[in-house]
Amino acid sequence: MCLIVFAWRPGHAQPLVVAANRDEFYARPSLPLAQWPENPQIYAGRDLEAGGTWLGIGADGRFAALTNIRNPHQPPARKSRGELVARFLDGKIPIDDYLTDVAGRSIEYAGFNLLIGTAQQLWYYNALTTAPVQVQAGVYGLSNAGLDTPWPKLLKARAALGEVLHDPQPQALLALLGDNQVAPFADLPDTGVGLATETLLSSVFIASPSYGTRASTALIVHADGTRHLVERSFGPYGGHLGEVEIKA
């Protein structure tokens, strides 16, 4: 998952609104959003290479999502980051205990940002720079650096989310995730991957022959605990592969 914009509004009619793009190599096998057979209370896509996921919901109002931290010089990881989302959704460990465990083992993974929460609270953890912090009410963006690092696509998507929060609907969230305009050269971050790759990765929606946005997900959580998930899947060059809608 490479871009997440979200609004956390405790006490609101829709306390959590999320729009997220998962960017990955098209060759990496995965399954779209679905109910997991071994735990029917989990609804998430699935990485078939390592078994984890990038975003999902679980029992008791649980929500989790992650992005990787872009650093071409970091050493190979021993474990897949996707298991961090799956383990939280699959368990009943309190958030503080779970984050303590994750922080103590973060060296086992390549750099990551993790969002986890329940109906009552939402937490953020950057494995490279911060201790876990509780998210306060507001509108946020998370890409492949830190929370609200002002990369062009994060600023654009976060602003677009703010414009639809008066009446958030899945199709509006998915529309803002489909913006494929790249950023001007002068606005690009320098993350060590070269100008051509920085340009490719600078749009909200990424499309190329080998790497791009594989899934766009809209999540709306209502105050009564009901959740509405819609996910669109994509292939090479951004070809539309299908759409899944779940109300849980």
Q: What is the pLDDT of residue 72?
A: 80
What is d(CA 228, CA 216) in angstroms, rounded to the nearest whole number?
A: 14
Beta bridge partners of 234: 240
pLDDT above 70 for 167: yes
pLDDT in tens, 38-62: 999 999 999 999 999 999 999 999 9
pTM score, whole prediction: 0.95
Range of the domain at 116: 3-247
User: How many domains are there within the chain?
Assistant: 1
What's the mean pLDDT when you consider all of the chain? Answer: 95
Q: How many CA atoms lie within 13 A of 201 on its CB side?
A: 24
**CATH number of residue 137's parent domain:** 3.60.60.10
Rounded (5°) CA angle 222-226-230 = 90
**pLDDT score of 178 more than 80:** yes
Q: Give the other-Cβ count within 10 Å of 87's Cβ.
A: 15
Residue 42 has what pLDDT? 97
Question: Structure tokens of 65?
Answer: 């999502």
CA atoms of 190 and 240, how far apart (whole Å)? 30
Please enumerate in sequence order all residues whose Cβ is within 8 A of that of 224, keeping only pairs 6 or more positions apart, or say none. none
Q: Is the pLDDT of residue 138 over 90?
A: yes
Question: For residue 64, what are the β-bridge partners?
Answer: 56, 116
Cβ 54 vs Cβ 22: under 8 Å:
yes
Phi, psi (deg, nearest 5) at residue 137 = -55, 135
∠ CA 224-162-113, nearest 5°, is 80
pLDDT at 76 over 80: no
DSSP 147: B
> Given phi > 0 = left and psi -120 to 50 = alpha, else beta, which region is 148?
left
